[in-house]
Structure 1
Amino acid sequence: MRTAPGGPALADRLADALTRIDAPDAVLAVTRQGHRTVVTGGSALAPPTPRRELRYELGSLSKTFTVLLLADLAVNGVLSLDDPLTARLPRLPLRHPRSGRITLRHLATHTSGLPRIPTDLLAGALVRPYDNGYAGYDTGRLLDTFARTRPRHRPGTRWHYSNFGLALLGPAMSHTTGTPFPRLLADRVLTPLGLTGTTLAPGATGTDAVGHRTNGTTPVRSADMGAFAAAGAVRATPDDLLGYVEAHLHPEGSPLAAALREVRVPLLRRGWRHRNTHTLTWYQHPAARGPLLFHVGATFGQQAFVGYHPASGTGLVALATRRGRHCGMVTTAYELLYRLAGED
């Protein structure tokens, strides 16, 4: 176990919460009113590189980085959130009129009507769950598939989570700016926020966390997301994620201040009795003194959680390599953040 300054009581609480996470490697980190506390552990032997210094695959948590980039381009007048997607892509032979009505905002908020993943990926995922179908899926194929896909409902009318939709933001922003998505994200988000341990590509051996299959020993290959990079390719160190959440908690003075404020604005409600609130990129739940915002992500062998409570100045990062689908990390992290939000 390793702790950083932030008070022994909180460190003890994090250590106790860590025992409820069934994972070879796990990190719980809290930033609270300017102080950081980090605890690491897991059922596996500690890796040669300390767990706190490894980069972890964020999976769908990557979407918050992509949409922050989108918001930054919007507040600087490079594009508008309500631009049609087709206006930000090369000319495509669309087969369905609804596709032409999808906007960038619809993609960011999962209201485009597009399926979760393209149908040509679905069959392979069901038959070979540990094969990474994203790896060989290039941008040309992604755009061709979009041109053929019929949205399931009129854009803007229903919420339906879509990796497919978020992935399209990558080529849309790249085509608009003439800059490859990884460089665009680095230039406009990662570098301005000082996130030097965050990238979209695997690092040298020993610098990245390694996930496992359900037996807990067979390693899972690093997740290559292909053309779905905007939906799930970011990997980051715990300290970088603490810096990321601190930027959201305290946007004033940041070079991305306007975009950071933009992604916190509630935009839609869904679910039973419309109890679930969403911003442009974050899930938002009610909590003491104000809303709690969070997002989760997973790859074939890792899980990630980031959440923050602006009213108390509290943010929480949880990362784990896992063996199987359920390790208890997300529930543990959410419940801990919710309790911290209600404390002075």
Structure 2
Amino acid sequence: ADKMIDLDAPLSYYFNPIANPAWQSVTARQLASHTSGLPHYKNNTDLIGLYKSIALNEQFDDVTDALELFDSSELLFKLGTQFSYSSYGTVLLSALMQQVSGSTYLDVMQQRVFSPLLMDATQAESQSNKTPNQATFYWQNASQSHLLRPWRSVNLSHRLAAGGFLSTPSDLVKLGSAYLNPHYLSDEIKSLFWTPQKLANGQVNEQNYALGWRVGEAALAAPLGKTKFIHHGGVSRGSQSLLIVLPKYKTAIAININTNTEVFWDFGKISLQLAEIFLNNHSAAIN
């Protein structure tokens, strides 16, 4: 039988010893919903780790090695009491997946996600082979958007699970579509991923964040109207991505760009515009 993670078991159940005593009572659910209190990059009080996350020039071949960048940082708040997005929380979650599975995190992703979903263009950024069709990532001057220059080379292996993969819109759509395929994910598991999580006070967190996904309502142009949409975006050095799933229409849409916009949604809103075009044309073709 597959080894499973209990979402509500403390990390001390899986890690002995544990890298940071403050993590002992943290749960996988809290890590996946960003309610653990782990820091994001800028509020990391592990100063050596903070420096390394800025330098971006060190290779981490194992996700557990990357924990050293934040394993002496303080928690931001009492477990489960607030929401605060933390890429480091996602890195710690990937280390937990590796610990429980007995396989490397990369192998888990390859065997459970990339291979079965035929995501052949997705790979770790730090292990990617430069190919002629790989995009160049650009820095853009916020006040003079026509001024572009290539980003310096960076190594994102320390944040593999939280933004260290290279992919394509086509591969990301395969991932989004898998959530609509009951042969890949049962309705029970899908519901688990897509249920906004409550804080310790019983209130749903302010971002309506579920487990690895945000849950929102999109106001599409008539005649489509309001519909539930599940989404997650990502921002990295000279790149942005967004994947959305519209369960009602059994549709997934992904967009990528090889630069950054000052306001993420100036880029992200294109996904809903594409949804309107596609769904209206699809409906017209059927009718």
How would you bin the TM-score normalised by the shorter chain? 0.7 to 0.9
Q: Which amino acid aligns with 2:212?
A: T
Alignment match of 1:208 (pick from 129, 134, 157): 134
Alignment-derived partner of residue 198 in structure 2:
268
Deviation at 1:236, TM superposition (A): 1.4
Deviation at 1:166, TM superposition (A): 0.6
Residues 179, 335 of structure 1: alpha-carbon distance in 2 compared, 3 angstrom cutoff: same
Alignment match of 2:244 (pick from 307, 316, 321): 307
Q: How many residues align?
A: 262
Deviation at 1:145, TM superposition (A): 5.3
Q: Which amino acid aligns with 1:189?
A: V
Mapped pair 1:116 → 2:40: yes
Instruction: Give the secondary structure class of the aligned counterpart of 1:311.
Output: helix
Alignment-derived partner of residue 157 in structure 2:
226
Structure 1: any 5+ residue segments left out of the alignment?
1-72
Identity %: 22
Q: Which amino acid aligns with 1:310?
A: P
User: In 1, distance between residues paired with 2:228 and 2:37?
Assistant: 27
User: In 2, distance between residues paired with 1:321 and 1:151?
Assistant: 33
Deviation at 1:205, TM superposition (A): 2.4
Q: Displaced runs of 4+ in structure 1, greater than 6 A?
A: none
User: In 2, distance between residues paired with 1:264 and 1:210?
Assistant: 34
Q: Deviations over 1:83-137 (max 9, x none)?
A: 21233335136444xx211001111100001111233244576xx6xx4266569
Q: Deviations over 1:156-210 (max 9, x none)?
A: 1110000111111122111222211111110011112221221223233224221
Deviation at 1:223, TM superposition (A): 4.5
Greater relative contact order: 1 or 2 (C-alpha under 8 angstroms, separation 6 or more)? 1
TM-score w.r.t. the length of structure 2 is 0.76
User: In 1, distance between residues paired with 2:167 and 2:102?
Assistant: 26
Alignment-derived partner of residue 27 in structure 1:
none
Instruction: Give the secondary structure class of the aligned counterpart of 1:315.
Output: strand
Alignment-derived partner of residue 221 in structure 2:
none
Alignment-derived partner of residue 9 in structure 1:
none
Kept in 2, the 8 Å contact 1:283–1:294? The answer is yes
What value does the CA root-mean-square deviation take over the aligned residues? Answer: 3.4
Mapped pair 1:291 → 2:204: no
User: In 2, distance between residues paired with 1:263 and 1:145?
Assistant: 28
User: In 2, distance between residues paired with 1:93 and 1:122?
Assistant: 17
Residues 223, 311 of structure 1: alpha-carbon distance in 2 compared, 3 angstrom cutoff: farther
Alignment-derived partner of residue 258 in structure 2:
321
Q: Deviations over 1:21-41 (max 9, x none)?
A: xxxxxxxxxxxxxxxxxxxxx
Q: Which amino acid aligns with 1:246?
A: S
Deviation at 1:148, TM superposition (A): 2.5
